[in-house]
Amino acid sequence: MNGQNQRNNLFPVFLKMEKLQTLIVGGGNVGEEKLRSLLRNSPCAPITVVAIKIKDKIKDMSLKYPKVVLKERGFHPEDLEGINIAILATEDRNTNIGIGQLAKAKNIPVNVADTPDLCDFYLGSVVQRGQLKIGISTNGQSPTFAKRLRQILEEVLPEETNDLINNLKAIRDQLNGDFQYKVQKLNEYTAQLVTGAVEKKH
């Protein structure tokens, strides 16, 4: 199959992580990266980190987030009880595979760091401007490209983006008419904004 016929078949969703129980197995650099990513997006998410050795940076991070629970010991199958999402960040592939099989037997979606073939979902790069959040996925093929694209979008999107979103909501709330009419009017307003932004850049 050539590149033109390939496509990303993932379905993007935005989860309310504060309503889900997340387990991270692994307390090293990868575990820290996954935990930091989750908390950056959902600081109130309840997260349990299990690892034989948990690095100091994770311990320091947990002090700022009361819903982060650390268990400095080996993984137990009972750790999966009540869990909705499992992130496997150990440095041993066989350990990840074994825990992943246990999780999948309980219908728990699994993410295995740097191992796309074992993942049920990916943690993509995220751009955020207040209420606006953009997720970027390369289907696990190139996280580096996703990171670079995130940097480009962060440079392009102004800090005032959130003000714009709030203003559009206020306009929508004041519009009379049915759903189709509101969509039409908001499309007209946003089209003018996009046109103005393009003209400003040129």
Whether residue 109 is predicted with pLDDT greater than 80 in this model: the reply is yes
What is the percent of the chain with per-residue pLDDT over 70, rounded to a whole number? 88
pLDDT of residue 192: 62
Per-residue confidence at 84, pLDDT binned at 50, 70, 90? very high
pLDDT of residue 119: 93
Average pLDDT over residues 113-133: 86
Quick one: which of 78, 106, 84, 97 has its CA closest to 23? 84
Q: Where are the domains of the chain?
A: 12-123, 124-157, 161-201
Compute the mean pLDDT over every residue in the chain, rounded to the nearest whole number: 86
pLDDT of residue 194: 58
Alpha helices in the chain (DSSP H): 29-41, 56-64, 93-105, 143-156, 161-174, 179-201
Q: Which of 15-24, 57-66, 145-154 has the weakest average pLDDT?
A: 145-154
Cα separation, 4 vs 78, in Å, equals 45
CATH of the domain spanning 124-157: 3.30.160
Per-residue confidence at 198, pLDDT binned at 50, 70, 90? very low
- Does the pTM exceed 0.95? no
- Torsion sign, CA atoms 100, 105, 111, 116: positive
Select from 3.40.50.720, 3.30.1490.20, 3.40.50.1820, 2.60.40.1930 the CATH code of 12-123: 3.40.50.720
